[in-house]
Amino acid sequence: MADCIFCKMVNKEINTNIVYEDDDILAFRDIAPKAPVHVLIIPKKHISDMTKITEEDSKIIGKMHLAAVKIAKELGIAETGFRLVNNCLGDSGQEVMHIHYHLVGGRPLGDFVD
């Protein structure tokens, strides 16, 4: 989508601090981190939110989870624990309408990350 900031990152129109990339997934550091490790994991395919996932998309969603574990290991938080969060639509706080996970860790997170 032409106006999607995450699609612009995928297309290298906007520079970002990439921590992982493959044919289907892009992961980069959040510009307003909530913890020492805060990475956004997105599919390169534009999917606006969790409610728009199709059966065809299930493989890419699985790849996002595998990427999260790989990134957690590389960034040293897999042993101590991390949180993987998806916000879906307005009431959840989703700000960018391109499905993404927040991989958060590096400190005790408590009951909830806002």
Q: Looking at the annotation, which residues are catalytic?
A: 100
Measured CA to CA in angstroms, residue 75 lies from 37, 78, 83 at distances of 8, 8, 13
Query: Nearest Cα to 76, choosing from 32, 114, 39, 25?
Result: 39
CB–CB of 18/26 below 8 Å?
yes
